[in-house]
Amino acid sequence: MVKALANFYLADEAIREFNNVLASNLDMETLADQSLQQLLIHADASAGALLIESGGEIRIAAVHGIRSPETLISNDQIRLAFRNSRQQIISLPEDVELESVLTDFRPSQVFIEPIEYKGSVIGLIVLASAKKFDADVLRQLEFLRQSLAFAFNNALTHERLQRLAALDPLTGLYNRRFGIGRLQEEFSRAIRQNSQLAALMFDIDYFKKVNDTYGHMAGDRVLVHISKISRSAMRNGDILIRYGGEEFLCVLPAASKEEAVQVGERFRRLIEESFIKEGKVKIGVTISVGISAYPEGSAENFSDLVESADKALYKAKDTGRNCVVVS
């Protein structure tokens, strides 16, 4: 009886500590990482992961001790747990050869627990242990899972709201307010690390004529089309912003003027060679591009960098459009 009472108080303390972790976080990455650490300790597991489903895609929110985390997403048992919302305890006999994704030890059991919120599976707990899980611990995990479901739902809602606040609703690019914030961060980083940074400003030539001739719905389709092409032409790590109307800003971390010109020319050429269909009519447009760079130029802050790129863009307009001009 004394042992049972001691176990009860230990379990109650673990749940309180776990709930404190959940209550203090809305950031999904932090929430998932701290929650997984608590689950590993509580279950005496050596490896594990927390997975979430959002927008029809499964992604890993936190992982510990997994050699190839990406294999979890395509694993049949994982996908089955998302579909049927059933707990699974997979025992792995010692005499069976196993190509395990778990590092440093051979798991005896793998525990998979769906995280369900209002009848829908929004995530999974995956824990692996070198010994069998204690039955009392697994029962206690049910209480932790319920708390985690509420916390994950809140974090996902917060994540969606943050994303909506950051994105332009038409093109899906960063909006001006959020994008300028990202530019400011990158400029500060360039100063701290004594690294390069370039800005590429471009807009669509004669866009008013497109709207006047084919209508604003066709104009919107052109904007979406330009956004997709530009995203496909960016380097990894570049930041594309719908700056306003038909004007776009691309931030290129660690890029020199020469590299920015190469990106700008790639944008210009791909857009010039493309078109959208409006009925039987093909609508093609071109862009004018202005480029500035730090520290190669005279910019002392992020505002100077944008202003310099904007001036170069106007020079491109004045010199015939469909060209790239460097400030």
Render 37-58 in DSSP notation, one character per residue.
Answer: HHHHHHHT-SEEEEEEEETTEE
Query: What pLDDT does residue 29 have?
Result: 86
User: What is the rounded average pLDDT for all residues in the chain?
Assistant: 87
Residue 100 in tokens: 């395990």
Query: What pLDDT does residue 5 have?
Result: 37
Render 186-211 in DSSP notation, one character per residue.
Answer: HHHHHHHHT--EEEEEEEETTHHHHH
- Considering the four listed CATH numbers 3.30.70.270, 3.40.50.300, 3.40.50.970, 3.20.20.70, the one that applies to the domain covering 176-326 is 3.30.70.270
Helices (H), 167-256: 176-193, 207-214, 216-233
Distances (CA, A) of 12 to 6, 9, 24: 10, 5, 19
pTM over 0.75: no
pLDDT digits (tens, 9 = 90+) for 204-263: 999 999 999 999 999 999 999 999 999 999 999 999 999 999 999 999 999 999 999 999
Same fold, 2-166 and 176-326: no
- Tell me the C-alpha distance between 167 and 303, whole Å: 21
Do the beta carbons of residue 301 and residue 197 sit within 8 Å? Answer: no
User: What is the residue extent of each domain of the chain?
Assistant: 2-166, 176-326
97 among known catalytic residues: no
- Residue 295, preceding peptide bond in cis (omega within 30° of 0): yes
pLDDT digits (tens, 9 = 90+) for 1-35: 434 434 434 445 555 555 555 555 668 888 899 99
Q: Out of 13, 97, 246, 296, which one is annotated catalytic?
A: 246
- Tell me the C-alpha distance between 326 and 290, whole Å: 6
Query: What pLDDT does residue 69 have?
Result: 86
With b for 16 or more beta-carbon neighbours within 10 A and e for fewer, the 303-326 pattern comes to ebbbbbbbebbeebeeeeebbbbb
Instruction: Please report where in the chains the tokens 């001739």 appear, as a residue.
Output: 213
pLDDT digits (tens, 9 = 90+) for 74-111: 888 888 888 888 888 888 776 555 555 555 677 888 99
Beta-sheet pairing, 287-294 with 324-326 = parallel
- Tell me the C-alpha distance between 156 and 162, whole Å: 10
Sign of CA dihedral 94, 100, 103, 104: positive
- Tell me the C-alpha distance between 276 and 216, whole Å: 14
With b for 16 or more beta-carbon neighbours within 10 A and e for fewer, the 82-105 pattern comes to beeeeebeeeeeeeeeeebbbeee
Do the beta carbons of residue 252 and residue 183 sit within 8 Å? Answer: no
- Considering the four listed CATH numbers 3.30.450.40, 3.40.50.720, 3.30.360.10, 3.40.50.300, the one that applies to the domain covering 2-166 is 3.30.450.40
- Does residue 63 surpass a pLDDT of 90? yes
